[in-house]
Each structure stands twice: as structure tokens, then as C-alpha cells.
Amino acid sequence: MPQINTGDFRKGIKVILDGEPYEMLECNFVKPGKGQALYKTKLRHLLKATILDRTYKSGDSLEGADVRKGEGQYLYRDAQGYVFMDNETFEQHTLPSEVCEEDTKFLLEGATCILLYWNEQLISMTPPAQVVLEVTYAEPAAKGNTATNVTKPATVETGATVNVPAFIETGERIKVDARTGDYLERAKE
């Protein structure tokens, strides 16, 4: 892969550090009164999601990471983890449960996701921003509480729990922000 010079550092680039892929979250240029210019960076490990702070001198360089994004489809869950299909090559890839457990709480089979590959190996997935799910269980609303901003927990078809307004009932379809787990609105049929 090509070398990326400090002058080309910016948010979002993918680099190799100690043989591992990282994404640059931020890069700040600092010019002290004396000496060389410095680049203070914050990097996130793409496999472990840990954050690292590093400072580089002007003229340093890092190796660019062979990372690509592609569209894929969530197929099913098995003993090894979550299975996704690449929409371009139709190859199936498994992502271990510990890597994507949080991101799959609101994921239905057949959902379209963004898949991230490093050296043609699937390393992470990004769920769709919003999903429409059916409420499988919600407590009945207490009389008189429907006019205010009262919420209650509701279980959706994926098994996750979402705080919804008191007027939502079992069997209704709701729109949920898959990244935060927040209720957005009733789904329009």
C-alpha cells in the first residue's frame, strides 16, 4: 500500500500501525515556536475499537491500509457469529458475535448493511440508520397518560427493548434509529 505523508493526514483515512488497521478520528496541526511542526492524531483500532493518541513530526509517513467498504446483506446467525453476503461478489462472510453484537440488536434477516473489509476479510458492519420493526410486547397504556410525554418499554421482533410513547401497542410497527436504539415514529404503512 502507498505511504501517507503527514501533510495528507485527515479525518477518516485508514492506516496500518504495528501491522494492524486504524482509522484516523482526528488530526490537529501544531506549530510550536521552535522546532518542527507536529501532527497530533487520534486513531481507532478497526478490529478492537480501542482509541490511541499519537504525535507525528512533519515529514513522517504511515502505510495506508487496504480497507474497502461495500454493501451487503445480513443473512442469519449461527454458532460462529453473524453471516453476511457481499452484494457485489455474493460471497458469504461471518463476523464473530463479540465484534458486532451491539450493532445487530435491531437487525432483521435480509437487511442491507455497510460491510468493512481489510485485506478482503470482513472486519465490521454498519447497520442501516433506521429500521421498521413490529412491537411484539408492550404494556397497555394507563388511562389519562396518553397526552403527556410518558414512555414505556416495548419489545420488538428482534428481541431488543425500545422506550416508546405510551400510546404504542402490541402489533404496531415502529421506526427505530438502529445506531442509538431510540424510537423515532410510527411506521407509515
The model carries a pTM of 0.74
SS3 state of residue 102: helix
Q: What is the spatial order of strands in the sheet that 151-156 belongs to?
A: 161-165, 151-156, 130-138, 173-177, 182-186
Question: Which pLDDT does position 143 carry in this prediction?
Answer: 66
Report d(CA 184, CA 130) in Å as an integer.
9
Predicted local distance difference test score (pLDDT) of residue 12: 86
Spell out, as residue ranges, where the chain has pLDDT lower than 50: none
Cα end-to-end span (Å), the chain:
48
Report the alpha-carbon distance of residue 43 to residue 70 in Å, rounded.
22
pLDDT of residue 27: 93
Q: What is the pLDDT of residue 136?
A: 92
pLDDT in tens, 36-85: 889 999 998 888 778 999 999 988 999 998 888 899 999 999 888 899 99
Which pLDDT belongs to residue 121?
Answer: 87
What are the structural domains, with CATH classification, of the chain? 3-64 (2.30.30.30), 67-126 (2.40.50.140), 130-186 (2.40.50.140)
